[in-house]
Structure 1
Amino acid sequence: MKVSPSLLPILRSRTQGELLALVLLHPEREYGITELAGDLGVTPTAVLREVERLVGAGILADRRVGRSRLVTARTDTPLYGPLSELMSVSFGPVPVLTEALSGLAGVREAYIYGSWAARYHGEAGPPPADVDVLVVGASDPDVLFDLAEHASRQLHREVTVHRVSAEAWAAPTDDPFLTSVRERPLVRLELSQEAQ
């Protein structure tokens, strides 16, 4: 099990925070246990354990279709609004930015860096005031600006996107910015590549 998260220390684990953010920030979707495990990078057993707790608490709902178990957010409870808001500002950047950048023309890779990534990896410190994103590729700067504005509204904090070419990211460099980004914690966004 992952340790108690620095992003929101009231949660029991980072897995719990990631699961809640993914499901609560996409209330229109149903997720299978295996799909959630793949998205979160944990075992189906770990997801099932968290789902059992959250369904029992009335935060998530589940239903069975054949041998599959589908999970969704319970939007009909007083907890949904405040809890989804809390998940948005704490664990929301990964699902929100993954969805926004997936399939975007010219995006090869994307990472969250800076204070948010440091807290995600367990470094102690104050809550991050913003979310810094590094996009590797040749995507349109205007599209990235609009995407950052939209994500800022969703996450209730400023999102800044910095773009670098694939060549610059892959090559050794003495560029102070790239050196700093590479030396600090990074959270890689697992993007679908359909529009590449």
Structure 2
Amino acid sequence: MQITLMRHGKPVLAASRWLAPCEMGHWIAAYDEAGVHVDAIPPASLAAASTAVIVFASSLPRAQSSARALGHAAPRVDALFREAALPFPLWRCPRLPPFAWAALLRLAWLCGYARGADALATVRQRARAASAQLIAAAAAGPVLLVGHGIMQRLIARELRAAGWTAVSRHRSGHWGMARYRLD
């Protein structure tokens, strides 16, 4: 049995100015609704997608458009696989680039700050349910999940706890993937 966890492609986002933390909610919403650039999909990602019998995708558009770009027009879409939402404070300063805020807010979330987002413990429970769904589907053949970085790391942790072995090292960039096998 085999499960491949693949991160979505690079989102199509307009250049953004520096933002205050209170403005991150609008930026996060735009990021969540973004499609992806479909050029330059790595051959290894295309090859992994071609072997999948069942394809799952997060309910976020960037995951679904990535699955379609990989040749899977109708992936099984489930909000269970959505990325862990970013919290953001309502401060008006300082101003930073949005991806700098995203990194800082993700670190804060990992340390327990969850204003307006699910807490880490809640997302871990969701990852446990997601891994159980992937494991059940893997009985029918190779499974591919097109999703998001943090959520996939949490799902991978659950797969390893269930006795699955990492066949390939996890790549965190766009189109990055990791394969897990149960022998």
From the two aligned structures, give the one with the greater strand fraction.
1
TMscore range, shorter length:
under 0.3
TM-score under structure 1 length normalisation: 0.24
TM-score calculated relative to the size of structure 2: 0.25
